[in-house]
Amino acid sequence: MSLVSRRFISSLVAKPNAITLSLLQSKLSKGDHSQDELVNLVQALIASENQSKNELINMIFDGIDSFGIYFKIPQVSKLPLESQIRLLDLNPGRVLLSKELAKEFARDHPSLSLKLLEKVIRGERYEALEFEMELQELLETLELMKGEEKFQVSTDLLEEIILKLDKLNAISMLDQMATVCEISPQALSIILDGNDLNPYTYLKLFGYLEQGELNSITNYVNAIEVLNNNEELLKSISAHEESIAKGLGIPFVLVDLASIFAIVESKEIESVAIRLQLMKYLAYRLNDFPKLLQKYHYYSTHAKSEFHLLQNQLVIIYGYHLVDTQIEINLQIMNSLLTEEITVAQLQLLIIANAVFDADNLIQVFNDYISQLSTKTSEKTNRSPSGRLTEALVVAFLSRNDREFAQLILEKLASNGKVGELEVTLIKKHLKVWGDSFAESENWIDAEPIFRKHVLQFMQTL
């Protein structure tokens, strides 16, 4: 019997339940039917009283791979939900946008809404390869999805959305999503750990999570490092985010850096890495030395085994403060904190800090230690102790507006094998920055604050 013979279809009237799933599957498996025959059967099933008609129609649509069937079914609103979703999947989007197609279904259902959200994120079938998500389209879709209950979004789809928002510097749209969709903490935590996100996005996601929802102490360390190392980038991205929000007419909620700091601070006892980063943040970002010293004394009392690390960090901070303020008392404080077991970072600091007041002393420090330092480069950083000290000396003389001597030092030490070719290339970048400092004025009095800012940024990396 043909799939849609009159007798077969008539049985739907006489005996509505005569057509079963197993019978239909057997008929479909033969493959000897046209699309028109399938359309006739679907329409007959819609009109029938078959108790399994939704499942039967869904079985038919599961085997369809062309959107052309849509144009032959007059009442797509009467199709079961799964078949409607199948039509959305098949729709290329050239002639009819999926959101327009969904209106014909005349129903609100989470599965349809999520399918439309996928289309907004991934594009219509015809444009998938070159598709770029439109924020306005996303916003309009989220508005359509608003209802009494929030939607559940899979981790994969949420990750895809966040990565696209991250690329567009528009993670603030996540606040709009949160009014419509359940933002799973577990999913956010996975996304936070598994992707290379821009600093603003990282802090935005971090701020969404409660302490018990973060996977490890590493999240807290990463968050405070992001705060410390991306001040200008965070400002730039947040300004871009605010501009996008204004253009879309949606509220903009700035990431609360003070709140992020407080969350990280709550874990300070659990990690020396967090303690060191908190000290940096108080010094470099907040310039809050009273609180910094309070922290330092508290840490030194409660974490005696790590005291040398904290002391080393404080030395570097006061060297930074010296260059920043040009106040000589900071040099005395820095020197008083030094121990006999001096590190390469502290030697770099001593050289740069002494450049503020005493060029002779910075050369003395360099000469006293350069012969003791290895020229072997680290596999991890491609830097050597002698190269790092040379870099500090070059930066120090550039900060004194003595480019000629800085260049001479670099060439001489390179020829003596104290600095490798790769390190020479890295160090020469400071020479370029020094030159760029004179872009707006040939006077050192105008260029010095610009180059000093570069020196301070360099010191933060020590």
182 pairs with which residues across the strands?
Answer: 152
E strand intervals along 143-293: 151-152, 181-182
The pLDDT assigned to 211 comes to 61
Residue 14 has pLDDT above 70, yes or no: no
Rounded distance, CA 54 to CA 70, Å?
17
The pLDDT assigned to 48 comes to 84
Pick from 170, 155, 263: nearest CA to 208: 263
Classify residue 312 as exposed, middle or buried by CB count within 10 Å of its CB (0-12, 13-18, 19+): buried
Tokens 């009467």 correspond to 78
Amino acid at 238: S
Rounded distance, CA 147 to CA 108, Å?
10
pLDDT band at residue 127 under the 50/70/90 scheme: low
Q: How far is CA 267 from CA 278, 292, 298, in A?
A: 11, 16, 14
Amino acid at 442: E
Least confident piece of the model among 350-354, 357-361, 378-382: 357-361
Q: Count H helices, E strands: the chain?
A: 25, 2
Rounded distance, CA 205 to CA 448, Å?
39
User: How many degrees, rounded to 5, is the angle at CA 367 between CA 366 and CA 370?
Assistant: 70
User: Residues 70-80: pLDDT tens digits?
Assistant: 998 888 889 99
Beta-carbon neighbour count of residue 240 at 10 Å?
15
Q: What phi and psi, each to the nearest 5 degrees, are found at residue 291?
A: -70, -35
Give me the DSSP letters along 298-343: HHHHH-GGGHHHHHHHHHHHHHHHHHHH--THHHHHHHHH--SS--
User: Residues 390-433: pLDDT tens digits?
Assistant: 999 999 999 999 999 999 999 999 998 899 889 999 999 999 99
Mean pLDDT of 289-304: 88
User: Residues 92-106: pLDDT tens digits?
Assistant: 888 888 888 888 887
Residue 5 has pLDDT above 80, yes or no: no
User: Residues 223-255: pLDDT tens digits?
Assistant: 999 999 898 999 999 999 999 999 999 999 899
